[in-house]
Amino acid sequence: MAFVITQPCIGTKDTACVEVCPVDCIHPGKSEDQYAEVEQLYIDPDECIECGACEPVCPVSAIYPGDDVPEDMQSFIEKNADWYKLSAEEFQAKWGSPGRKA
């Protein structure tokens, strides 16, 4: 199962994980238009190769392998996937934060 970015990333948005990802599956990065408006970063579960490079560089320990996401943060598995599969409007309605603009 893909890695997942969870609650501690909200408000932090450190992009060390983006910089080490070999497949560019973590968005938005600082150079992307949406970086300023989103509350956290997201890992695309369809693109993640489960290499784990992102996990140790996260300064707030927000990244977990999907099978190890703490019980109280399980919703972030779905939230990360939804950011990539839902329209911006659908994501906003469901999660109350900006969705991905294609």
What average pLDDT is seen over the chain? 97
Read off the pLDDT of each residue in 32-45 and give the average, rounded to a whole number. 96
Q: How far apart are CA 36 and CA 66, in angstroms?
A: 26
Instruction: State the sign of the Cα–Cα–Cα–Cα dihedral 92, 95, 101, 102.
Output: negative
Contacts 24+ apart (CB under 8 A), 21-24: 21/53, 21/54, 22/49, 22/51, 22/53, 23/47, 23/48, 23/49, 23/51
Give 41-90 pLDDT, tens digit per residue. Answer: 999 999 999 999 999 999 999 999 999 999 999 999 999 999 999 999 99
Percent of the chain at pLDDT exceeding 90? 97
Residue 86, both tokens: 């839902």
The reported pLDDT for the residue numbered 102 is 76
Average the pLDDT over 11-24 and give the result: 97
Partners of 43 in the β-ladder: 26
Q: Which domains are delineated in the chain?
A: 3-95 (3.30.70.20)
Structure tokens, 23: 């497949």
**Percentage of the chain exceeding pLDDT 70:** 100
